[in-house]
């Protein structure tokens, strides 16, 4: 009887375990280790960050995972129609794999010291660009730690990629107006603005500011779409980037100087009017009164 009860209990436990859903975690930023010989679905070119590679995967219904990294100084993006856990081992440890559903994929351009473009390596880069950064967002690296990825807000583009502009709107005269153009385009992620050859340039990009390639002039600076403090200053030859700092100083100085002119005008007008009026009135009254009184008294004697 006891044996029968033990069998019933074991059967119930097995049924409970079998009925529970098994959670399969996504692979987000590790070296591929599959043993299959699956070939890539597609290998898009001109992709400079893992985040941009994910965007290519999202746009392809057959894509389930993607591989990204720098090999021989070239950024590689490979799309696969299988889960990341099944993607075969690659020829270089610089290439790491992500499932399509990964929520925190770094938007960092790989370097020789950070060939995978992992978010962890962006911390040193972010320190150098704190001056131009206003906002930031939290991301999780492959080790699970929370990392802060700052927006680039007013720095010289420095990526070595070859990303081409999304569009170049004409007649845009301030960085703030260029941001409005970017906000109106759902594909826009960043924009470049500045004065070049006496012409205001506004260039929209479909990649983050950190992935925008270096420009032909230092007058052109880049902003992420989410930047909250973008100057609305028309560039000049002495302030070709249209940065807000140079404009505010000269404007305040000119206003203060003008107030000195008003002070001089009021002082001269009031002083002259009051002096002349009081002097004339008092002198005439006192002289006449004293003269008449003395003359009459002497005549009677």
Q: What is the mean pLDDT of residues 94-117?
A: 91
Please tell me the predicted confidence (pLDDT) of residue 12. 59
Asked whether residue 81 is assigned to any structural domain, the reply reads yes
On whether the CB atoms of residues 225 and 188 are closer than 8 A, the answer is yes
| Span 15-31, pLDDT tens digits | 554 555 555 678 898 99
Percent with pLDDT over 70 in the chain:
62
CATH of the domain at 71: 3.50.4.10
Res. 97: pLDDT tops 60: yes
Asked whether residue 220 is assigned to any structural domain, the reply reads yes
| Span 121-131, pLDDT tens digits | 433 333 334 44
Asked whether residue 37 is assigned to any structural domain, the reply reads yes
Of 160 and 142, which is predicted with more confidence? 160
C-alpha angle 50/53/56, rounded to 5°? 160
Of 5 and 300, which is predicted with more confidence? 5
pTM for the predicted model, two decimal places: 0.39
Please tell me the predicted confidence (pLDDT) of residue 125. 39
Asked whether residue 268 is assigned to any structural domain, the reply reads no
What is the count of structural domains for the chain? 2
| Domain of residue 65, residue span | 25-122
Sheet of strand 221-224: strand arrangement: 153-155, 221-224, 190-196, 199-205
Res. 160: pLDDT tops 90: no
Asked whether residue 147 is assigned to any structural domain, the reply reads no
Q: What is the mean pLDDT of residues 23-47?
A: 89
Assess whether 36 and 115 both reside in one domain. yes
3-class DSSP string for 15-81: HHHHHCCCCCCCCEEECCCECCCCCCCECCCCCCCHHHHHHHHHCCCCCCEEEEEEECCEEEEEEEC
């Amino acid at each position: 009887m006891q044996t029968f009860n033990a069998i019933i209990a074991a059967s119930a436990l097995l049924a409970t375990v079998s009925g529970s859903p098994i959670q399969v975690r996504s692979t987000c930023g590790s070296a591929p280790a599959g043993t299959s010989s699956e070939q890539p679905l597609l290998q898009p070119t001109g992709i400079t960050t893992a985040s941009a590679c994910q965007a290519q995967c999202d746009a392809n219904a057959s894509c389930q995972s993607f591989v990204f990294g720098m090999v021989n100084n070239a950024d590689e993006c490979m799309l696969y129609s299988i889960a990341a856990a099944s993607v075969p081992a690659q020829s270089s440890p610089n290439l790491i794999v992500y499932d399509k559903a990964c929520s925190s994929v770094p938007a960092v351009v790989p370097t020789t010291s950070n060939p995978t473009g992992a978010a962890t390596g962006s911390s040193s880069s972010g320190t150098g660009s704190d001056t131009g950064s206003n906002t930031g967002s939290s991301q999780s690296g492959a080790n699970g730690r929370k990392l802060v990825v700052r927006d680039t807000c007013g720095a010289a583009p420095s990526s070595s990629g070859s990303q081409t502009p999304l569009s170049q709107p004409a007649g845009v005269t301030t960085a703030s107006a260029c941001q409005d153009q970017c906000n109106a385009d759902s594909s826009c992620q960043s924009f470049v603005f500045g004065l070049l050859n006496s012409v205001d340039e506004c260039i929209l990009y479909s990649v983050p500011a950190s992935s925008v390639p270096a420009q032909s002039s230092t007058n052109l600076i880049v902003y992420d779409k989410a930047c909250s403090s973008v100057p609305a200053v028309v560039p000049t030859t002495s302030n070709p980037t249209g940065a807000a700092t140079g404009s505010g100083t000269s404007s305040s100085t000119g206003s203060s100087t003008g107030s000195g002119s008003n002070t001089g005008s009021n002082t001269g007008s009031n002083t002259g009017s009051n002096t002349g009026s009081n002097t004339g009135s008092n002198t005439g009254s006192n002289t006449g009164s004293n003269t008449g009184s003395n003359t009459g008294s002497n005549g009677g004697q």
